[in-house]
Amino acid sequence: MGEGMSETATSRRRRNLPYLWFACAIVFVIALAIRVYFLLRLPSDVVRPNADWELDSIVISMVETGRFADAYVVPTGPTAHLPPFAPFLKATICKVFGATLLGGYVSLVIQIVVQSAIWGLLPSQTNTASALPP
């Protein structure tokens, strides 16, 4: 009887898979829309990379000198203040698009899409997949 139960549960999950992906897509679109709404209302001086923020200070240092350093407004030398992935990604974007308003928007859009995708995967991590309609 236990074997038949798992087979039924498996077939039910397969049957509900399109509903699960639809739920994931809805959550992704809503999360993306909310973030884009607020992105469009940010002042341009917040979007443009500047040395007032630790991440942007490291990025500017990487673009100008090639060093993972100077996490604060004043030059402080090499730093371990932040994990390296975000500064390297943003520095690459700033190398391609420049430390301009466009570069700031591109890095924020990439961040928004990744965060929305993470939220979009949330329905797939719940146990409600079997409770969705057949």
Let me know: does 134 contact 12? Beta carbons within 8 Å: yes
The answer on pLDDT for 1 being more than 50 is: no
* Greater model confidence, 3 or 76: 76
User: For 64-115, what is each residue's pLDDT tens digit?
Assistant: 998 999 888 788 889 888 899 999 999 999 999 988 999 999 999 999 999 9
C-beta neighbour count of 28 within 10 angstroms: 19
User: For 18-65, what is each residue's pLDDT tens digit?
Assistant: 778 888 899 999 999 999 999 999 998 889 888 888 888 999 999 999
CA distance 98 to 78: 22
